[in-house]
A and B are shown apart, each in its own frame.
Chain A
Amino acid sequence: MGLKSNLHNLKEKYKGTKMAPAFNAIHTFLYLPNETTHNGTHIKAADDLKRTMNTVIMAMVPCLIFGMFNAGYQHHLALGSIEAAEGFLGSTFWTWDNLVIGIWKVLPLVIVSYGVGLLIEFIFAVIKGHEVEEGYLVTGMLVPLIVPVDLPLWMLAVAVAFGVVIGKEVFGGTGMNILNPALTIRAFLFFAYPTWMSGDKVWVHGAVERAGTADAISGETILGSYAQSQDVVYNYADMFFGLIPGSIGETSKLLIIFGALFLIFTKVGSWRIILSTLLGALAMGLIFNGVVDAGLITSSSKFYGLMSVPFWQHLIIGSILFGAVYMATDPVTAAQTNKGKWIYGFLIGFISIMIRVFNPAYPEGVFLAILLMNVFAPTIDHYVVQGNVKKRMKRLKVKTA
């Protein structure tokens, strides 16, 4: 075991030095450390944070791969060089040409996201002298999945730096942050570079540079079409399978559902949050449908387009499903009590659809809804825990009375 003992000797050599956390981060990536328990429990369960985070990443990989194919597919489709694929297994979708474009566009995003983010994590770990926490492994994967394909890399780098430092490190690093770091990054991009994050030009590779020329192509998302009360050109199957323009990883509802089932099965993701988010979205959708049916909002209103969308369709357009499965379930920023998770999720779904309908300029409300509820999650928990505290107080009063 040459490598093992060599690395062990190196670890001993660097023990206590400034660079130890950086070295250990790489070492523990290769080998589960040789640490043993002291007093307390003498045995420990098999899971550590790396394994947990790795599980989440595994659940996202199908979305990433699909996103690569879809990036190429949308590009070629918009250029008119291929026919529309019929269904999920359509012959013009899973092609080498599509994948090449996807790899060229998406892989750099992944590399920049991980590179910049992990660099900052390492720097902070070395400065503060703690181990490198695994939180960014998931964030770094989430970020490329929730941005438009043509996003310039430098913007991503700036946003990641901002998101990791302001969204996480200033609060004390992994486990202490209030806002979901991936969403902080997206919010930063959205407000700093709105032209690259919304509109009808950014969702398909090549659309921006061709804008205004004779070859202009449109990459309107479904939400955009609805918001402008235009006809939607995609059918339900396309929406569900994900053959539509959108952020890289969010389009395929089928794969997101697989990811959700995997997360729930492994007990890594909270089924309470996922389920209640979807219930909240359906509830709000139903309310809007009711409003439209009652004739309170007519087709002359600018809200009519999205309000009249049948409630169940909200789940297969936009990124509500992706947000519910991969973002709302972030355990650090979500509510931490089981009862709180129900409330937290429900409100995310509810508010997502509300923002979606009332904000036609940018109809994707999920990330704003999650960030908003991140802020309120401690409050929800507080009241849930107070319930327990009150029960204890009541017990005491009964005794003394």
Chain B
Amino acid sequence: MQILTKKIHLNVGRNALLICKFARFLDTNFKKKYMSNDIRIKKGLDIKLVGAAALSKTAAIKSNFYTIRPEDFHGITPKLVVKVNQKVKAGEPVFFDKSNEDIKFVSPVSGEIIEITRGEKRRILELKIKADKTLTFIEHKKLNLKSAKSEDIKALLLASGCWPFVKQRPYDVIADPDRSPKSIFVSAHATAPLAADYNFTLKGKESELQAAVTALSKLTDGIVHVGVSKDAHSPFTNLEDITTHRISGPHPSGNVGTLINKIDPINKGETVWTVTPQDLVIIGELLLTGKFNAERTVALVGSQIEEPRYLTTRIGSEVATMIYDRGIQKDAHARIISGNVLTGKEVKPDGHLDYYSNVITVIPEGDDYEFFGWNKPVFNKVSTSRALTFSWLTPNKKYDLNTNTNGEHRAFVITGSYEEVFPLDMYPMQVLKACMYKDLDEMEALGMYEVAPEDFALTEFVCVSKQPHQKIIREGLDLMIKEIG
């Protein structure tokens, strides 16, 4: 009798353990399959513009000249390793960062350096490269990703020129390779106006993405978080070594800063890294083939473009090769933006695709007066108020906005409007003011470690006082780098 009870006890114990294990297994599976970490953003604003790209991909006219601008890499002091007339291969370093010589910046094509333009105090403005007809690449050795150690991966990314694709927060600059991030974030859900649709541009790139995220996952003790769109099938959905989060809600739900704030906000002393999906493709290809292939699918969008569509081109290529083919007229009075309308850079028709952009937006310039424009009812512009502005009546209408500021720069007056479009758990106006009066303690306390200028793009858009929020935040971050480090 005694023996029997013991046996039963044992059995019960083992069964309980099994049940526990099974329950945990079910739970994780359930989470993965059904809950899948949904994140719903309520505050924000979708700005719907005319000129979204049709889902068709064609190759852009090949650019003869490519340009790298050190300005694209914020906070970097370039130290040249090439001279004019020197031949370079694709993926060969052209300069490195003076403060960290391991961070190298490479040529997107093979060819000849034909011009190095310098500005004030001999600051390097741009390097111009004349491309060869057929590209020759520098070959890096391929890693066995399964067994590769984190140092090997890091060394390869640094040597190959892929490191600048890895950005860090705090400060929104190129990641410091000596630090270990607590987690890595990728947002594959683009919500900015006329943004390139990742679910389209990344189609067929699953193996590159997988290689890249596997490599990244070894660089952190934490998790590689990927935000994907809730409504569509993402190429990331079935990848391993990542945790996906299904995002829904208005812009800026697709900003990586929003993702970080909702999943694992940055505290003082912590670092997270961010990489964009288009750059993951380049990293992935390097890991798989050993070549730095700067090819990129770019959305050519905006109301001024005759036929908005996707083009494959290379980092640094001339925008002229893209915008005039079924795009704009030669003499069009338009604003060409490398990037989206909220965060992109203005480029001239002879300018070049930014190192990080995957969108070229062309919208009309708005340098004209409007009679009584400040008090008459407005139907053709976007507004979050209803002060005789009627965009609230037509939430699905697509607008053709121009670059007019719709008013002059003023002091901060209106309160409460930023909060409506700002989903991060902090006080946007107070942060901006702290940056303006340069109070480092307050900036730190209010959450500056968590933000990048792009997080303040929407508050800048809705700002009645037309304050340059992104610039204020950028300058605040730069001050913090300088004073706190």
Contacts and interface: CB of A to CB of B under 8 A. Distances in A.
Contacts of A33: 369, 405, 407-408
Given A30-B371, A268-B387, A332-B413, A46 B405 contact: no
Interface in A345-399: 381, 385, 388-389, 391-393, 395-396, 399
A131 B375 contact: no
Contact of A32 (B267, B369, B447, B462): B369
Contact of B387 (A34, A37, A51): A51
A40 B375 contact: no
Interface string B142-165: 000000000000000000000000
Interface in B362-406: 363, 365-375, 378, 381-389, 391, 401-406
Given A51-B375, A266-B387, A385-B430, A42 B370 contact: no
Task: Please tell me the size bucket of the interface on A.
Answer: 35 or more
Contacts of A37: 403-405
Contacts of B446: 385, 388-389
Interface stretch (B90-98, B278-286, B421-429): B421-429
B430 A45 contact: no
Contact of B344 (A42, A44, A49, A55): A42
Interface stretch (A170-178, A190-198, A231-239, A251-259): A170-178
Contacts of A392: 267, 445, 447
A135 B384 CA distance: 21
B66 interface: no
B374 A51 contact: yes
Contacts of A34: 366-369, 404
Q: Which of B341, B367, B464, B470 has the most CB of A within 10 A?
A: B464
A120 to B, nearest CB: 17
A49 B369 contact: no
B427 A45 contact: no
B406 A48 contact: yes
Contact of B413 (A24, A32, A55, A135): A135
B177 interface: no
B460 A47 contact: no
Contacts of B470: 39-41
B411 interface: yes
Contacts of B366: 34, 36
B4 interface: no
A176 B363 CA distance: 36
A49 B457 CA distance: 19
Contacts of B383: 45-47
Contact of A336 (B342, B382, B429): B429
B255 to A, nearest CB: 14
Contacts of B414: 49, 52, 268, 331
Interface of B: 47, 49, 193, 265, 267-270, 335, 337, 341-346, 361, 363, 365-375, 378, 381-389, 391, 401-417, 419, 425-427, 429-430, 445-447, 457, 460-466, 468-471
29 contacts: A7-B369, A28-B408, A31-B370, A32-B370, A33-B405, A37-B403, A37-B405, A39-B345, A39-B346, A42-B335, A42-B344, A43-B49, A43-B363, A43-B402, A44-B407, A44-B461, A46-B383, A46-B406, A47-B383, A47-B387, A47-B407, A48-B408, A51-B387, A52-B387, A131-B408, A174-B411, A331-B414, A388-B425, A395-B265
Given A41-B343, A41-B457, A54-B374, 13 more contacts: A36-B335, A39-B345, A39-B471, A43-B401, A43-B402, A48-B410, A49-B407, A50-B375, A51-B388, A54-B387, A385-B427, A388-B446, A389-B446
